[in-house]
Structure 1
Amino acid sequence: MEPSFSFQEMFPTGPDTTAYRLLTADHVATAAFEKTPVIKVDRAGVVLLAETAFREVSHLLRPSHLKQTAAILTDPESSANDRYVALEMIKNAVVASGYVFPICQDTGTATVMGKKGQQVWTGFSDEAALSEGIFNAYRKLNLRYSQVAPLTLYDEANTKTNLPAQIDLYAVEGDAYRFLFIAKGGGSANKTFLFQKTKAVLNSEALLAFLKTEIAHLGTAACPPYHLAVVIGGTSAEAVLKTVKLASAGYLDTLPDKGSPSGHAFRDRDLEKELFKISRGLNLGAQFGGKYLCHDVKVIRMPRHGASCPVGMGLSCSADRNLKAKITKEGIFVEQLETDPAQYLPTPQAKESDAVRLDLDRPLSEVRNDLSRLAVGTRLLLNGPVIVARDIAHARVKEMLDAGKPLPSYMTDYMILYAGPAKTPEGYPSGSLGPTTSARMDPYVTAFQPHGGALVTLGKGNRSQAVIDACKTNGGFYLGTIGGVAAILGKECITGIEVIDFPELGMEAVQRVTVKDFPAFLITDDKGNDFFKNLAAG
């Protein structure tokens, strides 16, 4: 029998159980078109919604996310480092909830997904109104401008507004306008992958082996614990990766558990359990060893073209900045995020393990001598001056070196911290300031160390074997600090900051920063030992 037409939506999600709060009942009115009720929305309401959404996600987290983080503190199987990182993350959430220091220094690419019911009428460019709200949030708040505009094929300039945003709008049935707002940091976004596989991967043995390898490759640079999403199948490459993003944001949690011949996405909860177990067995933990690489794993199975089987993987990091919103005839609503994260702190707070205090206000050779006596994995508290520099500044210095010029003295005389701070709030020496992914600077370490530069570096995540070898050859060290706690680091661990080179680069400028009790771990030493390789071997 020939099939008759029956429409099947790709994502048949269940009822929306999100807790919303009313932002305003203004800017919304009802009318009629051809005797059908319609909802009219003023442009000012959409601008206000976008501005509020990015204010909220920059400072607040979901209660469910904080509950998962707090659970690490009471889990007898969590490692001491798991508990240490989790505690600092909750403290960071407390600081950020004051609406002065954002959760993370990388305040992200502003991303909006909207589904506009056909009975909702705006009469203006929705994308322009949403962009204006985003513009207002990033200009008014202590957020960072991370977007760069291409001037030529190779030349770029910071837009100084954090625009453009990624905005995807869809027309759907109904009388509501529903949104998902995401602030997606670069480190988290860079851990999004597409694998073009075939049907050969669609058996339990092959699929589990493949996914175990790729989960291990995620590493810790994107600030775990993660909300990990895996998508198997898909009608196109771009559909797979968009689904990855939605799943990692919890947007597809209410999908059905089984598929059907009509072709729709569903969650495979059995594979979710398998992959969650695998993530815990990798021993990477919440950045420095343990079982909490992931808070949870979501697996979405999608229809596919018979000739291809794309697999997508991505995550939402510990700065889990996602927020739903909606506009209905009753008004404009935003998801209720947690305004009192202090309730998740233990009482009394867990004792922190002993740390070695390291004085940086002396010749770097003396600092290196002290580091050489310590074992990898040693926890440190750093005090004194460091240099903040990252991608573009390192590229500028490399150009100088290639032109036959010596390295600047700041590259040879100081520890180099890979970071790009957010704007500085009034009355404070620094804005939110946390580490960026160290691996992006790996080529510069191998280029600079033979010339006496970058002999001690500080960032997040693992380094390549080339960096480990360079440290062994040149007497270098790499330290790792906690990713995802930029608010508390900026407020409590930075006592002074000044731009010393390339001021035109904005947050990418070279800066001298004075740190106080700045937490770190010795990851790679001058003997070729590496903390993360030890974890993998163990």
Structure 2
Amino acid sequence: GVCSHPRNQGLEARMPPCHGCFGFFKKERHEPMPPRGETQEQARKRIRKQTSMIVEPGQSLCDTAGASLPEEFKRQISNEARSNAFLFDVNVTEELVHGGGACEKCVCGESAKSKDVEDMGPPKYDDFAYQPLFESVNVVDVPWTRLPELEKGVSVSSLTGPAGGSRKAVIVEPWVLRQLAERAISDVEHFLRPGHLAQLAKIMQDPEASDNDKFTANNLLQNAVIASKGILPGCQDTGTAICLGKKGQFVWTDEEDEMHLSHGIYDAYTKRNLRYSQVSPVSMFAEKNTKCNLPAQFDIYAAKGNEYKFMFMAKGGGSANKTYLFQQTKALLNPKSLEAFIAEKVVTLGTSACPPYHLAIVIGGLSAELCLKTVKLASARYLDDLPTSGNDHGRAYRDTKWEEKVLKMCHGFGIGAQYGGKYFVHDVRVIRMPRHGASCPVAIGVSCSADRQVLAKITDHGVFIEELERNPARFLERVGPRASIGGQAVAVDLNRPMKDILGTLSRYPIKTRLSLTGTIVVARDIAHAKLAERLETEGTLPDYMGAHVVYYAGPAKTPDGYASGSFG
């Protein structure tokens, strides 16, 4: 406000709203704000000429403005005065100390109404507003299937809540969690969401898609049809089992939720033709396969209400390896820098995680680990219910404009669905999050062509699981026969000498489709480690490594009567 006392007339100071002439704001310090037409330095020089004043608690500034105080008192304020006084800095050496009395002669009491006054004081308790970081504001339609066979283990009891009133408590038997987890993992290994399959069919119908785009999409649809028979899983890497749960406060279990859910995951992996990918460290360098794909990853959160909500995911190593964290700064947060950064980093994802991808980018985050967790959830479209705008309180939101921008960018890379073309990604999610002012983490991640997630929930109305597509063949019917894919594959006989095979390959450009016939060697990480060990100790490799091509793969369990389990 502007002090009306003759001595201080024209001195405009930045100050918080008046609370008993600043008695509320004890010991807060603020810089003077010069009047219009006067620089900060000019204001300081003028103020230095003024007499410093000490005002005791209960007095008003203007009542003592003309007081002449000895120099020795200027810096000697009693402890009592210090504990009740508001300090207003005028320069490095002088202080105006204003007590708790209301000043009737000053207009500072109206300062809260002035647009020119910035509230520099501490927030009042009445200003508190809780803002959920992940706020669900957009409805996402989920097709649910009821599981009546599990509802025998769910009961409802009426209780009195902490705030009074009757509440329904949902009581869940342990075997319900076990069987729900088994059903969820079994489903995601053999079935996909209809939205994902529709995106594959869209590639087949897009005139801008390359022949290789269409070839890949067609093969992925054919693969989904085979997997839906329930014998061979859709991918050789049947993943790490991940379970995210939100457990309402009025859901009661026997407190061993992770154990029962783990048992169900164990059942799914041991009963079905899935791969055991988890290795346990016996020592720093020695490892042993757990032979059941456990342990699983659990993130179970407390929530309000009486519902137990789940997302189950089977996350393969290929897509997990394409999760990146970049520690950036505020300098990234402008359109030109951000676009260049995303273009540079996303192209490095390459094709080893089996595109077309569901790409997720998270900008910001209260910590590095939260940023990474958010990118994984976003790639699974778990955060599609977020708002599409931010606010003053720090909520995360989806930036749909940047999603469109990045999608167009990815379609222009030329990488395509693994072998050149348009469809490097199906879609993009860009999440903007609050951050510490000194940090700006950025995470990039993908969900691959084995896009395996399923939702489930236990409520007072029953047990439900998300309905995945059980008839993927209907998407192939939309796009017509495979013969519609242009181009011819080049036949290569792998039983010929390696020199001849290499000569054939050298005649064709990258992106040429091949039809391979003959003997191949299958080897993955463990085999490569053994070969490297032999090369180091003996200086040689087995003859077959030079005579045949190597298929980098690790098949899943072989079903009875089959030559192999799922490959690739």
Shared fold by TM > 0.5? Answer: yes
Secondary structure at 1:422 match in 2: coil
Contact 1:117 1:177 in 2 (8 A): yes
Counterpart in the other structure of 2:176: 45
Higher RCO (C-alpha 8 Å, min separation 6): 1
The one-letter code of the counterpart of 2:153 is: H
Question: What is the correspondence of 1:31-70 to structure 2 with a 5 Å cutoff?
Answer: 31-34=157-160, 35-70=166-201
Q: Is 1:128 paired with 2:259?
A: yes
Distance in 1 (CA, whole Å) between partners of 2:389 and 2:511 is 44
- Alignment partner of 1:78 out of 206, 209, 223: 209
Question: What is the correspondence of 1:299-338 to structure 2 with a 5 Å cutoff?
Answer: 299-338=430-469
**Percent sequence identity over aligned pairs:** 53
The answer to which of 312-321 and 367-376 deviates more is 367-376
Shift, 1:377, TM fit? 2.7
Distance in 1 (CA, whole Å) between partners of 2:224 and 2:483 is 17
Stretches of structure 1 lacking an aligned partner (at least 5 in a row): 435-538
Distance in 1 (CA, whole Å) between partners of 2:156 and 2:170 is 5
Q: Is 1:11 paired with 2:137?
A: no
Counterpart in the other structure of 1:407: 541
Counterpart in the other structure of 2:492: 358
The one-letter code of the counterpart of 1:337 is: L
Distance in 2 (CA, whole Å) between partners of 1:357 and 1:57 is 35
Counterpart in the other structure of 1:107: 238
Counterpart in the other structure of 1:138: 269
Deviations 1:87-128, CA, capped at 9 Å, x for gaps: 111111101100111111000010110000111000131111
Contact 2:275 2:556 in 1 (8 A): yes
Shift, 1:16, TM fit? 4.5
Contact 1:43 1:124 in 2 (8 A): no
Question: What is the correspondence of 1:196-345 to structure 2 with a 5 Å cutoff?
Answer: 196-345=327-476
The one-letter code of the counterpart of 2:156 is: T
Counterpart in the other structure of 1:26: 152
Secondary structure at 1:306 match in 2: coil
The one-letter code of the counterpart of 1:367 is: I
Distance in 1 (CA, whole Å) between partners of 2:249 and 2:291 is 35
The one-letter code of the counterpart of 2:159 is: F
Q: Is 1:152 paired with 2:245?
A: no
Distance in 2 (CA, whole Å) between partners of 1:230 and 1:403 is 44
Question: What is the correspondence of 1:483-494 to structure 2 with a 5 Å cutoff?
Answer: none
Counterpart in the other structure of 2:528: 394
Shift, 1:369, TM fit? 3.3
- Bigger radius of gyration, 1 or 2? 2
Contact 2:136 2:385 in 1 (8 A): yes
Deviations 1:309-339, CA, capped at 9 Å, x for gaps: 0001101111110111111112211101000
Contact 2:455 2:465 in 1 (8 A): yes
Distance in 2 (CA, whole Å) between partners of 1:183 and 1:344 is 23
Distance in 2 (CA, whole Å) between partners of 1:181 and 1:404 is 46
Distance in 2 (CA, whole Å) between partners of 1:408 and 1:236 is 48
Task: Please identify runs of 4+ aligned residues in structure 1 that moved more than 4 A.
Answer: none
- Alignment partner of 1:347 out of 475, 480, 491: 480
Secondary structure at 1:32 match in 2: strand
What TM-score, normalized to structure 1? 0.79
Distance in 2 (CA, whole Å) between partners of 1:370 and 1:78 is 27
Distance in 1 (CA, whole Å) between partners of 2:492 and 2:333 is 52
- Alignment partner of 1:422 out of 538, 552, 556: 556
Contact 2:140 2:384 in 1 (8 A): no
The one-letter code of the counterpart of 2:283 is: T
Secondary structure at 1:139 match in 2: helix
Change (3 A) 1:348 1:372: closer
Secondary structure at 2:152 match in 1: coil
Distance in 1 (CA, whole Å) between partners of 2:248 and 2:201 is 38
Distance in 1 (CA, whole Å) between partners of 2:430 and 2:238 is 27
Change (3 A) 1:360 1:141: same
Contact 1:26 1:331 in 2 (8 A): no
Aligned-pair Cα RMSD in Å: 1.3
Deviations 1:134-185, CA, capped at 9 Å, x for gaps: 1000000110000000011011111111011111000000111001111100
Distance in 2 (CA, whole Å) between partners of 1:365 and 1:177 is 61
